[in-house]
Amino acid sequence: MQYNHLDIEKKWQKFWAENQTFKASNESEKPKYYVLDMFPYPSGAGLHVGHPLGYIASDIYARYKRHKGFNVLHPQGYDSFGLPAEQYAIQTGQHPAKTTEENITTYRRQLDQIGFSFDWSREVRTSNPEYYKWTQWIFIQLFNSWYNKDADKAEDVSTLVKIFKKSGNTSVNAVCDEEIISFSADEWNAFSTKEQEEILLQYRLTFLSDTEVNWCPGLGTVLANDEIVNGVSERGSHPVVRKKMTQWSMRISAYAQRLLDGLEKIDWPQPLKDSQTNWIGRSQGAMVTFKVAGDFENTTSEVKLSYKELEALKELRQNLSKAESTLWDELKNKKGAAKFRKKYTIGAFLVDYVCLAKNIIVEFSDKEDEAARTTYFTNEGFNVVRFTNEEVLENVLQVVSKINSAIQFPKAIEKVTEKQVVSTAQNQYKIDVFTTRPDTIYGVSFMTLAPEHELVSKITTDAQKADIENYITATAKRSERDRMADVKTISGAFTGAYAIHPFSGKKVQIWIGDYVLANYGTGAVMAVPCGDQRDYDFAKHFDISIPNIFEDIDISQEAHTGKDGTKIANSDFLSGLKYKKALKLSIFEMEKRGFGYGKINYRLRDAVFSRQRYWGEPFPVYYKDGMPQMIDAKHLPIVLPEVEKYLPTEDGKPPLGNATEWAWDSRGKKVVSNEKLKNKTVYPLELNTMPGWAGSSWYFNRYMDATNSGEFASKESLDYWKEVDLYIGGSEHATGHLLYARFWQKFLFDKGIVPVDEFAKKLINQGMILGTSAFVYRATPFIKSDCFTAHASEEIMNKIPAVFVSKNLFNSDDEFETIVKNHLIDNDFLNANDADSIMIVKTALHADVSLVNSSDELAIEAFKSHSLNADYKNATFILEDGVYKVGREVEKMSKSKYNVVNPDAICSAYGADALRLFEMFLGPLEQAKPWSTSGISGVSSFLKKLWKLYFNEETFKVSKEAATKDELKVLHKTIKKVEEDIENFSFNTSVSTFMIAVNELTALKCNKRSILEPLAILVSPYAPHIAEELWSLLGNKESISTADFPIFDAKNLVESAKNYPISFNGKMRFTLELSLDLSKEEIEKAVLENEKTIAQLEGRTPKKVIIVPGKIVNIVG
RNA sequence: GCUCAAGUGGCGGAAUUGGUAGACGCGCUGGAUUCAAAAUCCAGUUUUUUCGGAAGUGCGGGUUCGAUUCCCGCCUUGAGUACCA
């Protein structure tokens, strides 16, 4: 009987689906084992051969573990929220849910045809409301938590409030915002609810913060660093600016140390751990405060109001006129730099609305003292915009758009009078810096601030103002990545201000420079040019002094960055000390004198959690009086609203701003139409959505109890499955997904929701499968200039057809040109006289790999009729040996390179089993490797040979006879090797082992059931379909997946003799078969007597004979 | 620049604790079978050679009786990351 993969594979896939063979139970006597793949994003292109690589490996492992008696959880799902679907929706208007659904259907079909043993009853999709309900729920848990550093874990906010009520915040040791006011219990209790909420927001694990983003006004959206090329957007080349935006952030920094410590107890690849360690970036040093020298003009208009006046203000804020509240409803949603406040005092005036960051005052006209107000506000540097009640009530949107344009294009303000100078010693500015080298503090000769540093505008002197402003404008255009990548250009500007060195009291210049990044540390550095190369280069470039504080070190050429063995000099009390002592002493002194303290800093930044996108999880958040409110968990999920357009709104709001049904009815507890926003109990909902990593940060827990509608997952299932035992996926997720997921897991652990604080015990990165692109070489003719008239040129060019030259016909561009010219002349496409006047240039074009066979031969007719090659219908091909050979190159597999290979074709031509074996056979799992189908015939013929072992010509036939010693040896050798290979994730070598076993058994003409039955089980994790078929032909009724793995018995491998390699000086020269019973002496005697040994020695006496019984003999001499 | 990984025939790769380098597969060559082809089967296939051998795992050293494997230095390629103060 012929091996027919198509029928067999279809039959067993159907069997597995119908019998739910791989459905895992949450209760079992067996030990549990959880094997997980990083779930795919279902893209429109479908699965390519790279995807299944990891899935096949994990499937082999899962199937193996089942044979080994484990209760295996092996689920699969889709990370189905994401940008591509949204982009596609923007282009075509199709709902992302629809295209996502279609893509998932394709993925599922492709996954099924490869025969994976997934438990599909547990499938999750991050875009499914039943799933993201729990993503929203986790968000609420984070919002309701703070990080208690004393307990070193997250706790419920209620415990924090309890402390505040009892003793204020001075004793609280929490991870929170940097600038926190201190308050007593009495003060806390006197705060309004809103003030209390504002304070709590500074402690919550998810919180609103102004974050710098890459804003692209042209696209109305925020861009990732890699979506920006040369300062403009990759799509459409629009300008990009750095801008502050109010966004949700996650206080992952609270977990920095624990994320670092946790790496030690998980079995993950070292490079992956390294990159996480690097990302967290722990550094030990000191926080030092430098005072800014001199007096400064204070232009802020802070006016202290009495308690009574404050109360009156509150009253006023709540009782707005109709026009006032209409306008406020529009203005209050503005966030970040354009955030408005209502009923605010500027000087002695109460203004209707003000945006402090943009210096804009919005007022209703017809106030009695309008002229006086205008003068005062203008002097204070404010633009004033006025509207009448009627204007607002008739067309509030028009009013808003006028306000927007006032924000974007502020009028230059002429200052009429001198500013009020309120100065002061007590109001002195301070600059905090973090340094890892406080021991070098006497080497500080200047300071550098990030251009975005908030102090820059305040301390810059009038003389330097123009310089500084120019510099800031110039750097605002550069992306963070640009600034970081460019190490060579040294740029900066002097603020004119000076800082006081805290120890020496000397004045040091304060500069700004874009090598200092606002987001890192404090956004300021104390520059020690003698000890840091960047500072050194900066000082050299701007001619700043470079004091040497190292004993006997020459710093005339470069900074001295080493620390070991160097003694500090010229540093007062630190002089003469070595690094370690100086470090300790400097910190000690700082702490004693009160301007610094020892600190551990982490590079890890709090993670921005808001995305201005449509296709993501909505936040369960509405805004009441500008303060975020969580929707009660029992009303979840908050389902993504329908929108007309998936683009940002015209006034720059995220796409959800287009939704008409997107307001929260706090009484009815449901999402209602925006029209109802006028009602007092209806509030606007959050317009941002969550990022891609939200849904993927906890999905591995959901699989444990995927259909639970009442809980995130039941406690019993979480306690049973605990964590992923084996997680397989690409290394590109090293710092994104894998760090955030660990963070959430630790948080959920702190809150007692999950039983373990690391979600994956072991992780393996599978290597990328690269594409092998095919190139055809086109000849492009050019007329050399001035040789012909335009008319004549055209005539010549028109005669020349498109010509392609086969790969091996040329070695250089010159040879290429000669071949083409000869061809053209021989075929009368070109007049021999004109040949010297034209030039032939070689152009390599990607040819679709499906048009090329494994011998690199192009299917010429198919190429001509390929939809991409309409231009080459009449092209001529210069052949070698009658065929056209293409050039090959290994590149990333990508649609644009026409080198994508889809597994479908291989499944139908060779079968899923062949595909599975072949992908494993390509090489080590972790290694990147090019895809090439040459070689698939090898595994395919292996399967045929395997099949044949069980057949006698046409009929299935196995014998009951006892197996011979040789047959048993083959079997047990294979059991041993395959078991070791799977345990070591060395799947490529076990495929070889199978081939060897089948070759040997074929040679032995073995058809014994006692050999072939266990063999089928051995093969089944790799090639499950053929194994099932053979298993059932052997008379078994149950799926082979229920069979026990064969047990290795060493006695079958015992040998009586060994073919010893006989080496001379370590080089093997010949082998000699000797009994294993021989003693060392007997071996030596036998070897030295051998005539080949005598010939090798050529009469010399061996100096030494090394004998390792059972291994080798080495003769020295 | 830094970190990590890798470098073995024409190609993918194997060699598990330092012990016969090139398993297994592809490709190629020759042969059998066939009217022919596909398929299948057999033999060969690192280089070099005076057919005895000799050399050989990126390069140069070292440790060792013995190194693809361990150590030092260098080169190349790939991946990640970035002025972390």
Query: Stated in angstroms, how far is A273 CA from B5 C1'?
Result: 14
Secondary structure (DSSP) of A897-948? GT----HHHHHHHT-HHHHHHHHHHTS-TTS-EE---TTHHHHHHHHHHHHH
In whole angstroms, B81 C1' to A6 CA is: 47
Residue A474 has pLDDT above 80, yes or no: no
Q: How far is the CA of A1041 from the C1' of B28 (A)?
A: 41
**Considering only CA atoms, which residue is closest to the C1' of nucleotide B24?**
A992
pLDDT digits (tens, 9 = 90+) for A538-552: 888 888 888 888 877
Q: Considering chain A, what is the average pLDDT of its residues?
A: 82
CA-to-C1' distance for A323 and B59, Å? 82
Residue A851 near residue A858 (C-beta atoms within 8 A): yes
Instruction: Break chain A into its structural domains and give their ranges.
Output: 5-123+692-765, 307-408, 432-601, 769-891, 1057-1116
Q: Which nucleotide lies closest to A486 by the C1' atom and the CA atom?
A: B83
CA of A888 to C1' of B10 (A): 14
A475 burial (CB, 10 Å; 0-12 / 13-18 / 19+) is buried
Q: What percent of chain A has pLDDT over 70?
A: 88
Helices (H), A68-177: 83-92, 96-112, 129-143, 157-167
Which nucleotide is closest to the Cα of A484 by its C1'? B83
Domain range A5-123+692-765, CATH class:
alpha beta
Q: Which residue is nearest to nucleotide B80 (CA to C1')?
A: A275
Residue A32 has phi, psi (to 5 degrees) of: -90, 155
Whether A130 shows a pLDDT value over 90: the answer reads yes
ipTM (interface pTM): 0.91
Assign residue A21 a region (left: φ > 0; alpha: ψ between -120 and 50; beta: otherwise): alpha
- Those residues whose C-beta lies under 8 Å from the C-beta of residue A870, and which sit 6 or more positions away, are none
| Tens of pLDDT, residues A1083-1110 | 888 888 877 787 777 777 777 888 888 7
pLDDT (tens digit per residue) in A628-679? 999 999 998 999 999 888 888 877 788 898 899 999 999 999 999 988 888 8
Task: Return positions of chain B under 7 A from a protein CB.
Answer: 3-5, 11-16, 18-21, 23-28, 39-42, 53-55, 65-67, 78-85
Whether the Cβ atoms of residue A840 and residue A813 lie closer than 8 Å to each other: no
CA of A976 to C1' of B70 (A): 28
For residue A864, give the amino acid letter: K
Instruction: With a cut of 80, say whether residue A67 has pLDDT above it.
Output: yes
Q: What is the DSSP letter of A675?
A: G
Could you give the count of Cα atoms lying within 13 Å of A224 in the half-sphere of its Cβ? 8
- Which nucleotide, over all strands, has the C1' atom closest to the CA of A537? B83
CATH class name, domain A1057-1116? alpha beta
* Three-class DSSP category at A492: coil
Residue A995 phi, psi (nearest 5): -60, -45
Residue A929: nearest nucleotide (C-alpha to C1'): B12
The residue that minimises its CA distance to C1' of B67 is A1066
Nucleotide nearest to A1002 (CA to C1'): B41
Neighbours of A962 (CB within 10 A): 9
CATH 3.90.740.10 matches A432-601:
yes
Q: Which nucleotide lies nearest residue A1066, CA to C1'? A: B66
CATH class for the domain made up of A307-408:
alpha beta
Distance, Å, A918 CA → B82 C1': 38
Residue A481 has pLDDT above 70, yes or no: no
pLDDT of residue A483: 60
Instruction: Measure, in angstroms, how far nucleotide B9 C1' is from residue A921 CA.
Output: 19
Q: What is the CA A1065 to C1' B18 distance in angstroms?
A: 15
Mean pLDDT over residues A61-69, rounded? 95
With 80 as the cut, is the pLDDT of residue A167 above it?
Answer: yes
Kindly report the backbone phi and psi dihedral angles of residue A269, in degrees, each rounded to the nearest multiple of 5, phi listed first.
Answer: -60, 140
Residue-level pLDDT at A480: 58
Nearest nucleotide relative to A437: CA against C1': B85
- Is the pLDDT reported for residue A311 higher than 70? no
Percentage of chain A lying above the pLDDT 90 cut: 30
Residue A928, CA: closest nucleotide via C1'?
B78
Q: Distance from residue A1074 (CA) to nucleotide B50 (C1'), in Å?
A: 34
The predicted-structure confidence for A784-813, as pLDDT tens digits, reads as follows: 766 667 777 777 778 788 888 877 777 667
- A277: the nucleotide nearest its CA (via C1') is B3
Give A927 CA → B6 C1' in Å: 9
Q: How confident is the model at residue A487 (pLDDT cuts 50, 70, 90)?
A: low
Residue with smallest Cα–C1' gap to B18:
A1066
User: Is residue A128's pLDDT more than 60?
Assistant: yes
Identity (one letter) of the amino acid at A109? R
Q: Is the pLDDT assigned to residue A390 strictly greater than 80? A: no
